[in-house]
Amino acid sequence: MFWNTAWVNTHPTQPLDADVLSGEAAYLQVPLNEEYSGTGEYAIVNFPNLEEVFFPAATATIDPKTFKDCPKLKRIVVAKKSGSIKGAPWGAPADCEVVFDVNAKPRGTTFVPSYVVVPQTTSTPEPANYHRAMLELIEDIRAYVTKRNYPSFTIINNGGVGIFEPDAAHDWTLDDTRRMGAAVDAVTVEDVNYGADIDWNAADNRETPQMYRDEFYRLMHIAEGVGVRSLVIDYCWDAEKIQHSFEVSKANGFGDCVCTDRELSSLPTYAFPHNINDCYRIQDIENFMVLLNPNPDVNPPFASKEDYIEKLQDTWYDCLILDLEYNGEVLGREDVERLRWKPNGARRMVCCYMSLGEAEVYRPYWDDRWSNYKHDAEDPESPNHMDWKKAVSYCDWIAEPNPEWSGDFKVKYWTDEWKRVLFGTDDSYLDLILRANFDGVFLDVIDAYEYFEEKQKED
């Protein structure tokens, strides 16, 4: 047998990948964890193919009997000063090389994903209930991350707060809402206090009318009744409105995010109350930030990926909700680990965007054979340039283009093919998120069931 987690104090560190769980790993990165102090006796046992192990600089001690039954272990790298930890090679084979190097980095921090290969046809039948099909997809995601040994992984629904309320017209019961509450940790609701686009005029920086605000609050409290934390996203920029958003959200027990641009492309520069405490769970957070389209040209600008990470490190948000990529480069474990700390050293959460209801041509999983619309179709200089209105899908499980968002296609989210795009292979999107060791996912287009229910009415 083997321990599938390296232990730190009384808490397990970051979960390990499938090859580790099966004991087949050739390389093991001991987690970069804020609580890491050292390994216990026989912490790493029965890895017949293990050849190399990396210990981070945070390592204080390594037990003399850390390793057992790892016959192929050839190299142990410790990112500390030579000889600072005694007893090498700590139970590994006597000829195992031990390298002390303060500048050492773990392997595999840069990963270039490939598109996901799935059939263009599907044999998955149409669901009897589109609401429930979305529930089952989220339950599948919860089951998958648990199987991958990420039991504390956070799932946040972006929007669709109405799914936590029973709906007899769609055979959506109280039991269904409770199941959703068991699968999901939090839900975000936009425009609760500022920004509701009620009359089709520019609504940002305008107070949401009371009748709509009351309805938002009602639904958010229903969600909390089934165990789901409610999070506010407001759009405003006047200092007094920003302050009011934080105050009223805190009074209601909601976490709050104030965005100063609806494109979610710039780093807010306003002042807000700092929470100096550690935030390990969504229940711990008081504030958060959503930055999904970081733009190098905004003010303040991001000069590079390094500059992007450094600017985010300097913020005081309890939770950062980010895209998996910066300027086309997938974030790695080291990047996420650097973002995990507030300026005072307290822990914060780092979560990643993932769309459940739409496939996006600009994601690494996208296969150009799925549509006549290519990655670079918007570039006038590209040979693939075409009018977005001419985009068509070549896949049974891709429904049609989203007419309001270039590059996005509505997907039949209940199909096996789409689930394979989302999770289950090295290049699946959720697997890339897990590889980078994000604390959770921010699931978008949850309300995709409404699109298919409307289509069903039309038919």
Residue 45 has pLDDT above 70, yes or no: yes
Q: What is the pLDDT, as a whole number, of residue 298?
A: 66
Q: What is the pLDDT, as a whole number, of residue 221?
A: 96
Q: Which of 116, 173, 129, 186 is nearest to 413 (CA)?
A: 129
- Dihedral (Cα; 397, 399, 402, 403), 10-degree rounding: 160
- H-run or E-run covering 411: strand 408-411
Backbone angles phi, psi at 450, to 5 degrees: -65, -40
Which of helix, strand or coil describes residue 248? Answer: helix
Q: Please tell me whether the peptide bond between 89 and the residue prior to it is cis, using omega within 30 degrees of 0.
A: yes
Structure tokens at 419: 């689930």
Q: What is the pLDDT, as a whole number, of residue 108?
A: 55
Burial of 243 (0-12, 13-18, 19+ CB in 10 A): middle
The type of residue at 5 is T
Question: Which residue would you say has higher pLDDT here, 81 or 353?
Answer: 353
Q: What is the pLDDT, as a whole number, of residue 36?
A: 47
Question: Which residue would you say has higher pLDDT here, 17 or 233?
Answer: 233
67-91 as b/e, with b when 16 or more CB fall inside 10 Å? Answer: bbbbeebeebbbbbeeeebeebbbb
- Give the strand pairing for 319-322 and 289-291: parallel
Instruction: List the single range of 29-38, 84-93, 186-195, 329-338 with lowest mean pLDDT.
Output: 29-38
Model-level pTM? 0.80
Give the pLDDT confidence of 377-416 residue by residue, as tens digits: 888 888 989 888 889 999 999 999 988 888 899 999 999 9
Q: What is the pLDDT, as a whole number, of residue 199?
A: 58
Q: Bridge-partner residues for 330, per DSSP?
A: 325
The pLDDT-based confidence of 15 (bands split at 50, 70, 90) is: very low
Q: Which of 192, 223, 224, 222 is nearest to 210 (CA)?
A: 192
The pLDDT-based confidence of 196 (bands split at 50, 70, 90) is: confident
Q: What is the pLDDT, as a whole number, of residue 253?
A: 94
Question: Which residue would you say has higher pLDDT here, 1 or 266?
Answer: 266
Q: What is the pLDDT, as a whole number, of residue 332?
A: 86
Q: What is the pLDDT, as a whole number, of residue 284?
A: 95
Residue 41 has pLDDT above 50, yes or no: yes
Q: Are 239 and 247 in contact (CB under 8 A)?
A: no
Query: What distance in Å separates the CA atoms of residue 401 and residue 414, rounded to the nearest whole number?
Result: 18
Which domains occur in the chain, in start order? 1-107 (no CATH), 130-357+413-458 (3.20.20)
Residue 60 has pLDDT above 70, yes or no: yes
Residue 84 has pLDDT above 50, yes or no: yes
The pLDDT-based confidence of 61 (bands split at 50, 70, 90) is: confident
Instruction: List the single range of 92-96, 200-204, 260-264, 351-355 with lowest mean pLDDT.
Output: 200-204
The pLDDT-based confidence of 9 (bands split at 50, 70, 90) is: very low
**Distance of alpha carbon 116 from the chain centroid:** 19
Q: What is the pLDDT, as a whole number, of residue 5?
A: 39
Q: What is the pLDDT, as a whole number, of residue 3?
A: 36
Give the pLDDT confidence of 356-381 residue by residue, as tens digits: 999 999 999 999 999 999 888 888 88
Share of the chain above pLDDT 70, in %: 88
Whole-Å CA distances, 31 to 81, 106, 188, 298, 363: 19, 10, 30, 35, 27
Q: Please tell me whether the peptide bond between 403 and the residue prior to it is cis, using omega within 30 degrees of 0.
A: no
How far separated are the first and last CA of the chain, in Å rounded? 56
